[in-house]
Amino acid sequence: MDSIEKTRTILNALFLIGAVASFILYFSLGDDKTLFFYVCGASLFLKMMEFVFRFLLR
């Protein structure tokens, strides 16, 4: 497994953790969903970085 594959695996794992955390935050927070938006945005950023590694750095 080369370094790009390891990086992709780590980014995917972090994305999945962030997605689960976002799901929990969405339903557990009240009216102020600011924390949800931050966590969800960070998770999506991680997924986009994994996408870049998958398609542009091969």
Query: What global pTM score does this model have?
Result: 0.88
Looking at residue 21, its pLDDT comes to: 97
Looking at residue 56, its pLDDT comes to: 83
Residue 13 and residue 51: Cα distance in Å, rounded?
Answer: 13
Looking at residue 49, its pLDDT comes to: 94
Residue 53 and residue 55: Cα distance in Å, rounded?
Answer: 6
**What is the DSSP secondary structure assignment for residue 56, as one 8-state letter?**
T
Q: Where are the domains of the chain?
A: 1-55
Interval 1-58: pLDDT, tens:
688 899 999 999 999 999 999 999 999 998 999 999 999 999 999 999 999 988 887 6
